[in-house]
Amino acid sequence: MKCLCLSLFLICSITISKAQTSAPKIGKHPIVFMDSVRLGLQDIIAVNPDDIVSLTVLNTQNSIAQFGEAGRDGVIYMETKAHARGRYRKFFSSKSTEYADLINKDIADSTIQYIVNGELMSLKNSIKTKKTFESELEKITDSTFVSLKLINRNALVSDYGVTDKDYGVVIATKAIKTLSKDTSTYNQQKRNESIMLDWPDSEGWKVGGDQENEQEHVIDLVRNNETVDKWTELGNMTTIKVIKNLPIDKAMDFMFDQAKQHSPKAKLTFIEKDERAENPWIIFTIESPGFKDNKTPESQLWYIVQGKQALYTNFRAVKQASIPDALKTKWIAFFKTAKIVYKD
């Protein structure tokens, strides 16, 4: 166990340093995922911290709800450089057939110079900023992407002074508002942010559970004559205070990864997203015909939105193997009324 704790300490310390963010504390027996795969003790000890590009730590009542007592010491989700590389290569390939052709030749990234908004993405840059270039490239999404072009070795030398690469990938992006240092963004971040959802009085909703700590605020909603232990329809609003600038697709994947641990036959269905919105959001369903320790089916419709100060995950659930179309349409319309609000 000492080796396990030391390994996790090193991984968290180094990776959080790279991300320049803070993370919640974890206990001695956290659940650990790497690239969506749950790791055992020996796998964790073997992890090289330098291979990790991003880290998400959850230590809340929500992790207990998802994993039972096993989640009491928290959940750690790690992504490796190789996994991130696959993600941004797939994204850039969808934007440029020329880039896709280059990648299909199985070209190593060590021979490619990525240039984003005139800035060379390199190991030297990563050490200086405590960020990996894989993590920076992975942050580029439809909402920020502008253009991509390839340049040859001669152009790399003449335009950028790069002499040790064979290919250049020049990317232009929009400014990311959440990273902006202008006065308006700074003032907004200093105000208290929250999400507002008006649960219909006609449906008889009440708060069945309300728990908050430094990392999360979890609210469970049930009908007036029901409880969080015995319900026919459940609502949940969770504010994850420690997660900012997380791609919404990654948030969806993480929720599905958790669901599959208890329900291997769970089905994920993407419905809609808007990455260009001021607060990017995504809607999807996770439908489970049953669980390892419980044969009762459960289906959830999720609405996740990224605020400037936190990630807001919300869902409505029924104990059915799938969500009826009429109910799905109703729930989608309901979640689209959500608003991110600020108070002084």
- Same domain (yes/no): 138, 192: no
Rounded to the nearest 5 degrees, what angle is found at the Cα of 215, between the Cα atoms of 212 and 220?
Answer: 40
- How many CA atoms are closer than 13 Å to the CA of 218, on its beta-carbon side? 17
Asked if residues 216 and 238 have their Cβ atoms less than 8 Å apart, the reply is: yes
Nearest to 272, CA basis, from 246, 304, 225: 304
- Same domain (yes/no): 12, 43: yes
Tokens 């990017």 belong to 280
Per-residue pLDDT tens for 21-52? 444 556 667 788 887 787 776 677 677 777 88
Nearest to 302, CA basis, from 205, 239, 237, 247: 237
Q: Token pair of 225, please? A: 């004559």
- Same domain (yes/no): 286, 192: yes
Nearest to 310, CA basis, from 21, 52, 31: 21
For residues 1-13, average pLDDT? 44
Q: Tell me if residue 249 falls in helix, strand or coil.
A: helix
Is pLDDT of 204 > 70?
Answer: yes
- Same domain (yes/no): 131, 255: no
For residues 222-250, average pLDDT? 88
- Same domain (yes/no): 112, 14: no
> Could you tell me if residue 87 is inside a domain?
no
- Same domain (yes/no): 63, 197: no
- Same domain (yes/no): 33, 64: yes
Q: Where are the alpha helices (DSSP H) in 54-139?
A: 61-67, 81-95, 97-104, 123-129, 133-138
- Same domain (yes/no): 311, 166: no
For residues 164-189, average pLDDT? 59
- Same domain (yes/no): 194, 320: yes
Domain that holds residue 138: 94-176
User: pTM value?
Assistant: 0.52
pLDDT-above-90 percentage for the chain: 33
Asked if residues 65 and 19 have their Cβ atoms less than 8 Å apart, the reply is: no
Per-residue pLDDT tens for 60-95? 555 665 666 777 777 777 888 888 888 899 999 999
- The helix/strand count (H/E) of the chain reads as 11, 17
Tokens 């003790």 belong to 41
Distance in angstroms (rounded) separating the CA atoms of residues 14 and 305 = 28
Domain count, the chain: 3
Candidate from 44-58, 196-210, 237-251, 287-301 with smallest mean pLDDT: 44-58
Q: Token pair of 2, please? A: 């000492």
* CATH code of the domain in which 266 resides: 3.40.1000.10
- Same domain (yes/no): 160, 252: no
Please name the amino acid found at residue 238. T
- Same domain (yes/no): 230, 282: yes
